[in-house]
Every structure is written in structure tokens, then in C-alpha cells.
Homo-oligomer: A and B are copies of this chain.
Amino acid sequence: MTARKLISLDAMGGDKAPSMVVEGAALALERAPDLRFLIFGDEAALRPLLAGQPRLAEASELRHTSDRISGDAKPSAALRGGRNSSMRLAIDAVRAGEADGVVSAGNTGALMALAKFVLRTLESIDRPAIASFFPTLRGESVMLDLGANVECSAENLVQFAVMGESFARTVLGVQQPTIGILNVGSEELKGHDEVRAAAATLRAGQLARQFHGFIEGNDITEGTTDVVVTDGFTGNIALKTAEGTARLYSEFLRGAFKSSLTAKLGYVFARHALSKVRERTDPRRYNGAMFLGLNGIVVKSHGGTDAIGFANAIGVAADMVANRINDRIGREIAQLSVARPAEAVTP
């Protein structure tokens, strides 16, 4: 049995939209021929692009709108004035049950505000979180929140832990995902009140056996836990610091291979192996940040990505659809007493 996988696309979001969106969708369809699309955007721009992708055109329905949310629009402005935007209509389609999930490379703040307004949060979830996979020494982990919530209560962090756990089990396929809370040290007394209270709640609740405790920044890439929980301020900065560090390292490497004739020769021999490293650390590979905690599947693609990255974001949405991730999170949050934290602990 294969359920329907119909993804609605905001064709006008992203630096290279709409061509990048159409090419990305065509690539995603090549990889998963059972996908179907609802494409929202400017018909005059999209028709010629779709004409060049006959298989995609056949698997898609195009819905015209000339409105779009600009990259620098404030969330409040997107809510008020964006009712006919490609982003809003693509989310509306999920709300109406016409689509199973939505992908946009547009303005993150606007996408989160519209998604929260239109789809609402799952019962027992106060705030959605932005989650993403990232590569580790042991494979892949999932980290959240990556920027939706600049300030988080202990209760928010506990809910992120539950959502991340569901996600790692269903989408990553880890049997008993372990959970860590990012902190400045692993000792119980480290950190501020919110992380300590969240940890105390998890230690006392039904996820106690999977709760590893506090982890530090280097544990993210060590793969110490399958789920990394943090507030959106820290998570966003950690993610971008990691991206910057990878870029620094690869620039140093590029310089080294150019530094002498022998080094250039070495590069020729190692090129094939090095291209695999580039592939493993390619940001496009990890493109597609998931908004967890909503009544609907929403995936945010990096705004600057290309067709390959956008196809990966569509793949993430399709995986979430196939795994019925929201039903699972909803069930688990309802079951788990840990969804509501104990009183804050004062050491």
C-alpha cells in the first residue's frame, strides 16, 4: 500500500526561484516517481519552465498567483498582507487536505508565522520548533530548535525533546533514540534554570531511559545522542557556526592543494576520494529544515539553494508524509506525562 504523496510548492520563494523550484521538483520526481505536486506561483513564469519538464508537468497542477512574500517581509506583514501569496496558498492547500505537506525556500519568519496561523500547533505543543538532520561521526542526528524560538521555557525544551525523539525513531529509524540537552558542561548543576528544569523533567519522566543528560557543543558532531535539544537562539548559532567551520576547513584545504606542484599532483590522485568528503559535507545534502509541532508538514528549504538542494528538501517532506510524523508526535505527546514538566529545580 502506498499512500498519496502530494506536496504543495511555494514556487516564488528563494534566491533562484522559480526556476530552481521547478528543476528541484523535476529532480525529486525522478528520484520518487510517485510524488505529485501542487505548484503555486506566477503562471507566466512557470508555464515555460514546466514546458521544459514534461514529466513534472504531468505530475503537477499549477495554480496561478502573482503575489509573493518578499525575503525581508516581517512575519506580521506576511500575516496581514500575504493572503494571496504563493507561500500562503501553498500552506492553505495543506490545511484544506489538498496537499500532504508544503515546501518553501522563502522567508523563514513569514513561513513559520503563516504555518502557525493556518495549521495551528498540535494539541499539547505550545510552540513549533525548526529541526534538521546533521552529519556526525556515527551517522546522522537531529537537532532542534534551530531558530523558531529565541527564548524557550523548560516546558518548550521538554516538548522539543519529545518531538525530536518521535522524529528520530520514525524518520531516522533509530529504535530507542537518545536525547541530549545542549549545555556548557555535562554536570547536573551547569547552565541556566531552563535547561536544568527541562533535564530534571526528562530524568523523571517516561523518556528517562533515553535521556543522556547534558551534552556540549562538540557532542553534536560526535553523535553522542540521536537528538540534540536546545533553544532557537543557541541552536541557530551552533548550526551556522558548524557551517562556517566546515567552509573554513575546506578553504584551508583548497589552499593547501594549490600550494605546490606535488600537492597539486596529490590532489589529482585523491580527487575521487575527496569528492566523497565534499558530498558528505555538502550543505545541500542536509537541506530541508522541518517545522515540527504543527498540524501539517512544513519544510523550509535554504533560500540560497539550487535544484539539488531543493529536491532534497522535497525528499524530507515526502519522508515525513510517508512516516505520518505528525500523527505519531501527537499520539506520543498525549501519552507521555513528560509533556508537562515538573517544577523547576533549584540546586
Contacts and interface: CB of A to CB of B under 8 A. Distances in A.
Interface of A: 72, 74, 135-137, 147, 150-151, 182-184, 187, 189-192, 216-222, 230, 232-234, 236-253, 255-257, 259-260, 262-263, 265-274, 276-277, 280-281
Contacts of A272: 260, 262-263
A284 B243 CA distance: 22
A273 B277 contact: no
Contacts of A232: 184
A237 B216 contact: yes
A257 B237 contact: no
B281 A182 contact: no
Most-contacted residue by chain B among A217, A241, A266 (CB, 10 A): A241
A243 B219 CA distance: 10
Contacts of A243: 217-218
28 contacts: A137-B251, A150-B190, A150-B191, A151-B192, A182-B237, A183-B237, A184-B232, A217-B240, A217-B243, A218-B247, A220-B244, A221-B241, A230-B237, A233-B234, A237-B238, A241-B241, A241-B245, A245-B246, A245-B249, A246-B249, A249-B250, A249-B277, A255-B277, A262-B273, A263-B272, A263-B273, A266-B271, A270-B270
Contact of A217 (B150, B184, B241, B266): B241
What is the copy number of this chain in the assembly?
Answer: 2
A280 to B, nearest CB: 6
Chain A residues touching B, majority SS? helix
Contacts of A240: 216-218
Contacts of A271: 266
A182 B248 CA distance: 18
Contacts of A183: 237
Contacts of A281: 249, 252
A303 to B, nearest CB: 12
A252 B234 contact: no
A182 B245 CA distance: 15
A49 to B, nearest CB: 31
Nearest to A218: B244
Contacts of A190: 150
A239 B238 CA distance: 9
Contacts of A250: 249
A184 B241 contact: no
